Amino acid sequence: MSKPDLTRMTATDLRDQLARGEFSAADLTDAVLARIAEEDPKLGAFAYLDPTLARKTAAALDAYRGTGRALGALHGLPVGVKDIIDTADMPTENGTPIDAGRQSGRDATIVQRIRAAGAVVIGKTVTTEFASRHPGKTRNPHNHDHTPGGSSSGSAAAVAARMVPLAVGTQTAGSVIRPASFCGVVGFKPTHGLIPRTGILRQERTLDTVGVFAHTVTDAALLADAIAGHDLLDPDTRLLPPPRLLETALSEPPVTPALAFVKTPFWDQAADGTREGFAELVEALADTCTEVALPEIFSEGAQAQRTLMTAGFARNLGRYCDRGMDKLSDHAREMIEEGRKVSAIDYLEALDWREALNNGLEQLFDRYDAIVTPAAPGEAPRDLSTTGDPVFNALWTLCGVPAVTLPLLAGPHGLPVGVQLVGRRGEDARLLRTARWLVKTVEAE
């Protein structure tokens, strides 16, 4: 009997079979490294790999399992880590030649938690420059002439190409949801502050959010559960009980979820295929999905998010101008220049917009379990000089609400188009439960 292809299995199935001893962490690591060797020369999803270190880690995990002690939640699972997240034993180069060879000498908090849960950090995935818009080398696994999105381009592409079952990214505008949509995987951006950012390149504190990539909602919940929680060094995290994302995601909703189809003020930027796909989806969902219009003030959200993001970019990354202006992209220089012109009044007013818009969303979530809306204007553009438009993401990032994208639609060229679900702040587990219900409902149609 032929051996199963371990790279085709879900993370939760891999976890369960590893725990039963049906194969070893070394077996899985070898399978993943072989897949990377086959696919990554074409895709460029990884910025750094150390196969020797990965195999050494897997061997240590197998030895630990042999002691009979309890296993971590991610025991033996390979995880890709975006290259703005510090790793003690690998370089973190932030997508810029200015940081070439940079070694922080320490793990970011989430990397500590990934390792403590028993995962194998398989390598560093490509990021755009400073996790912004200037593309890296990664290509879309579905068509190499199309962008994979950004800034978490390598993480999305690595999961989509089955080079890893799980990966971590970050989002300040649309850097988890959009590449997940373009690459056809599940992307989960939790409530702002649910996952700590200590040891991660900062763009803008009020927006920066750690997210995850996986093939299923359950897998996304598994990884997010392992890295969520309070961190004394991140003032935006909260001292709360564990979110129990996986447990809740696996449960059935007590009643049929009520969904609000929201076009957002940017519907005119949605591609024709996206509009048609959502019309069919809403029709298929029948009485469980109702179109709801957001008040006109929500059109101000994109500019408020941009104000905060550019100001933060200038404050936190402007130092790179002194270290190597000639090595910065035009985009980075323009972002820094724009951010330096933001006044304190403009910045504080943008923060006020965040709370004002959240007040409106609270009223909507009193009636509906989640918002249904596009994850991106359409398919991934056939243009490697861009990462696509975050217009359908920036509003939700500004508000700090949880969002998940599901690969449920396809565009006119057969490329994936994500369906984004948005939930109330702090109700990440409920959102993931609703997302899993939606996937099952659509697949049953």
pLDDT of residue 55: 98
Q: Is the pLDDT of residue 418 over 80?
A: yes
Task: Classify 270 as helix, strand or coil.
Answer: coil
pLDDT of residue 444: 84
Average pLDDT for residues 78-91, to the nearest whole number? 98
pLDDT of residue 3: 81
Q: What's the pLDDT band for 399 if we cut at 50, 70, 90?
A: very high
- pTM of the full predicted structure? 0.98
Q: What's the pLDDT band for 135 if we cut at 50, 70, 90?
A: very high
- Give pLDDT tens digits for 191-240: 999 999 999 999 999 999 999 999 999 999 999 999 999 999 999 999 99
pLDDT of residue 1: 56
* C-alpha to C-alpha distance for 110 and 235, rounded to whole angstroms: 15
| Rounded percentage of the chain residues whose pLDDT exceeds 90 | 98
Q: Is the pLDDT of residue 22 over 90?
A: yes
For the chain, what is the mean pLDDT? Answer: 97
Which tokens hold the place of 432? 């993931």
Hey, do 6-235 and 259-444 end up sharing a CATH topology, with the first three levels equal?
Answer: yes
| CATH number of 259-444, picked from 3.40.640.10, 3.90.1300.10, 1.10.10.10, 3.30.70.60 | 3.90.1300.10
DSSP string across 187-201: EEE-STTSS--TTB-
Contact 97/142 with Cβ under 8 angstroms? no
CA 426, 427, 428, 434: dihedral to nearest 10 degrees? -160
* C-alpha to C-alpha distance for 31 and 433, rounded to whole angstroms: 31
Catalytic residue IDs = 82, 151, 175
Which of 224, 214, 165, 231 is CA-nearest to residue 191? 224
- Give pLDDT tens digits for 250-280: 999 999 999 999 999 999 999 999 999 999 9
Q: Which CATH class is domain 6-235?
A: alpha beta
Contact 202/194 with Cβ under 8 angstroms? no
Contact 72/106 with Cβ under 8 angstroms? no
pLDDT of residue 108: 98
Domain boundaries defined on the chain: 6-235, 259-444
Burial 408-420 (b: 16+ CB within 10 A, else e): bbebeeebbbbbb
- Give pLDDT tens digits for 294-344: 999 999 999 999 999 999 999 999 999 989 999 999 999 999 999 999 999
